[in-house]
Amino acid sequence: MKPHVWLGSLVLSVAAITLGGCSSTPAAQALPTYEQAASHPFIKANREALQQLVAGLSPADASPMLVATIVDVNDLRVSSPLGRTLSEQYSSAAAAAGVDVREMKLRGDVFVREQTGELLLSRELKDIARTHQARAVLVGTYSVAGQFVYVSIKLVRTESGQILRGYDYALPMDREVQRLVRKPTGDY
């Protein structure tokens, strides 16, 4: 082998090895585990909120209960994946606490809008509650701010509109919550 061919091969090999270390591909992140998912702070915060809301109430005082979709405080006609996820988690936590939760999605006479979930508006409250024989409805709003999403939930007696309980809390605006507050764009 001629010296200049050998030297050229050596230079190319060193360049390939050196440039290979300059890859712009980010290091792979470890995927979450089932243990991490089971103890996720988002789920814990929402369960705690429901527990605080019904603390001291007998299940009979809140049963049967409907859970409305949690909506954006700036537009009560709009929800998001966050609002629907919160509602689902409140329903699960209430049922686990012994409250008789009625599933509205199984009924055909509830107003359900495409991409927004079931929105329970105050003027419809009594009719829907009567149809489902509900004594209470969990309603709520969320408000997106800079670093937090502020959530307010209330347990309302269906017959009188009396607020039985209320609870406010904040969720950090982490990547997960940012994805959930996005408005539907048809990309789903």
- List domains and CATH numbers for the chain: 37-181 (3.40.50.10610)
**Looking only at Cα atoms, what is the longest distance across the chain?**
97
Q: What share of the chain in percent tops pLDDT 90?
A: 37
Higher local confidence (pLDDT), 70 or 126: 70
Confidence check: pLDDT of 114 > 80:
no
Relative orientation angle of helices 81-96 and 41-54, to the nearest 10 degrees: 60
pTM: 0.73
DSSP state of 188: -
Summarize the confidence of residues 17-35 as an average pLDDT: 70
pLDDT reported for residue 133? 84
57, 164 contact by CB (below 8 A): yes
Mean pLDDT estimate for the chain? 79
Confidence check: pLDDT of 45 > 90:
yes
Confidence check: pLDDT of 172 > 90:
yes
Q: Which of 2-6, 171-175, 178-182 has the lowest mean pLDDT?
A: 2-6
Cα angle value 136/141/142 (rounded, 5°): 145
pLDDT reported for residue 185? 56
Model confidence band, residue 123 (pLDDT cutoffs 50, 70, 90): low
Confidence check: pLDDT of 183 > 70:
no
Confidence check: pLDDT of 107 > 70:
no
Q: Where are the alpha helices (DSSP H) in 97-136?
A: 122-132
Higher local confidence (pLDDT), 2 or 87: 87
What would the pLDDT profile of 135-165 be if each residue is shown by its tens digit? Answer: 898 999 999 999 999 999 999 888 888 889 9
Q: Name the pairing type of β-strands 136-144 and 71-72.
A: parallel
Confidence check: pLDDT of 10 > 70:
no
Higher local confidence (pLDDT), 15 or 71: 71
Summarize the confidence of residues 74-79 as an average pLDDT: 80
Letter string b/e over residues 69-88, b meaning 16 or more CB atoms within 10 A of that residue's CB: bbbbeeeeebbbbbbbbbbb
pLDDT reported for residue 188? 41
